[in-house]
Every structure is written in structure tokens, then in C-alpha cells.
Copies of this chain bind each other. A is one copy, B any other.
Amino acid sequence: MNNEQSAILLLSCPDRVGLVSRISHFIFERGGNIINLEEHVDSEEKTFSIRVEWDLINFSLKADEIENALLPLAKEFKADWRLNFTIKKLKVAIFVSKYDHCLQEILWRYSQGEYPIEIPLIISNHTDLKPLADHYKIPFHVFQITKENKVEQEQKEIKLLEDNSIDTIVLARYMQVLSSNFVHQYSNKIINIHHSFLPAFAGSNPYKQAYDRGVKIIGATSHYVTEKLDEGPIIEQDIVKISHKDSLKDLMRKGRDVERLVLARALHCHSEHRVLVRGNKTIIFS
């Protein structure tokens, strides 16, 4: 698990000889001890991706100096990269409507210390889940959304997010579609849970669609939100078996369990900086 004092580099670039050596040498010569390193070479696309985490205890650079020191290497490699520090926890806002199962799951895990994150606030278009937020002592903000006020309300939401330095947004069964303006501002930072194994049953009422089709499994998919509904990069998916004995209501009940676990796992990966988006796909470092 993460050390309080470690740095995490996520980097991808065109593959070439010496990348691991150059990166690990950079760390070594400054006194860092590598705790985790995993690399992936996509032999079809000829791209190299790496996640490396190192201990900062005896590292010769201060956290705010590392980015500059890495810059020449990253430039040379033509890399997409980002650097995170375990001491600086992600700030996560959760958006909900009326269903409580996903919020409940995340807040409980959060209370157990499972996530290296802070949750400064919850946003909802309804008041229903305020008591749950209160139980976990997290500020709960209501922004009612109508066709008419949507643009305006989103601006207020973004203001609130910015004031709280929010890094990541979790849509925990938030029943509103965000504007593409909103989505752009938080690219690859909005995690949604869709209650089907995508690409099957995209759009509304996936359990009804599944029931009508007579499938023998139902599922859930957690993905980053893009402008195209339910088509963003997939982080995590899972399923549960069902049978002819299950009514539509049973599907929703069984589906809740897989929804909340899939979303919880996706947030776990994201919060530990183990997700790298390439095109419309993700690399999930273990």
C-alpha cells in the first residue's frame, strides 16, 4: 500500500530501448527506493506505459522540485505523464440523486480508511440522502436541476468544486447528464457507474432492457465520463448471474450489489493513481 511519503509517476510514450533504465536511474541517483514498478508495452501500438512509486524519505529533491527535474526526460521521451504524491490526497466530490447504495458503500469504505482521499462535499439534485451525509459528517449541497436552470446551476457547482480544489468527481447513480462543458473541464476525472455490462444496455433503464432480453447475467460498468453517453474509457466491470426466477425488482436488488462494488473498486484504482487513459481505453496497474 501507499507510503505517506512516496511519489507516483504515471507515464506513457512511444516505446524505445532504455526507458526503464533511464527512469529508475533518475530515481536511484537521487536516493529514492522503488516500492512498486509495473510497466506495460503495447506491442501492437509500440507504446510504453509505466507506473513507478518510490519512497521520498532519503530522496534528494523536495516534492515541488521533482516535476522540474523530470521535465527534460519527459520531453525527450515525448511522454504523457503525471506525478502524484501520496501525502497530497485526492479531493473527491460525490454526486448523487436518490439511490443511496453507491454513496453508502463509498462513505463506509472511506470511514474505514480504504481510500487515500478526502471527500470535502457531496452534491445532489435532491435532499433525500442528506441524513446519510450527516451520519458521516460530510457537507451536503443541493442543486435542483431543471431544463431552464441547468447551465446556471452547473456554473454554481463548478464554482463550489473549484473553491474546494476538487480533483475527482464520482457520479454515484447521479441521474443527470452533465453538460459537455462540465465534462471537458474534468476530463478523465469524472467516474460514473452504469448499471449494465457496457456496451450492452447503454442508456436508460438497463435492468428493464436486460429483463426483456432474457439475459442470464447482469452487470455494472464504471468508466470515465466523456461527451458520448456511456462510451467513455472503462475502468472496471463485473457481473452477477440471474435466472428466470428473478423479477425486474430482483434484478435491481442484485444489480445494486454489483454496482456498488464495481464503483468502489474503480475509485480504489483511481485514488491510488493506478489508472492510465490511452485513447478510449484504460491501463489499470495492479
Give A residues with C-beta under 8 Å from B.
1, 15-22, 24-25, 27-29, 31-44, 58, 100-101, 104, 108, 112, 114, 131, 135, 197-201, 213-217, 219, 233-239, 243-245, 247, 249-250, 253, 256-257, 261, 280-284, 286
Contact = CB atoms under 8 A, between A and B. Distances in A.
B247 A1 contact: yes
DSSP class of A's interface residues: helix, strand, loop or mixed? mixed
B24 A20 contact: yes
Given A21-B21, A197-B200, A261-B257, A37 B39 contact: yes
B247 A234 contact: no
A217 B198 contact: no
A41 B32 contact: no
Contacts of A215: 197-199, 234, 237
B217 A237 contact: yes
Contacts of A104: 108
A7 to B, nearest CB: 14
Given A17-B32, A282-B214, A247 B39 contact: no
Q: Within the oligomer, what is the number of copies of this chain? A: 4
A217 B200 contact: no
Contact of A281 (B21, B41, B214): B214
Given A1-B249, A17-B32, A21-B27, A244 B40 contact: yes
A17 B21 contact: no
Nearest to A17: B33
A193 to B, nearest CB: 14
Contacts of A198: 200, 213, 215
Nearest to A242: B237
Contact of A236 (B31, B36, B216): B216
Contacts of A253: 112, 114
Nearest to A37: B39
B245 A286 contact: yes
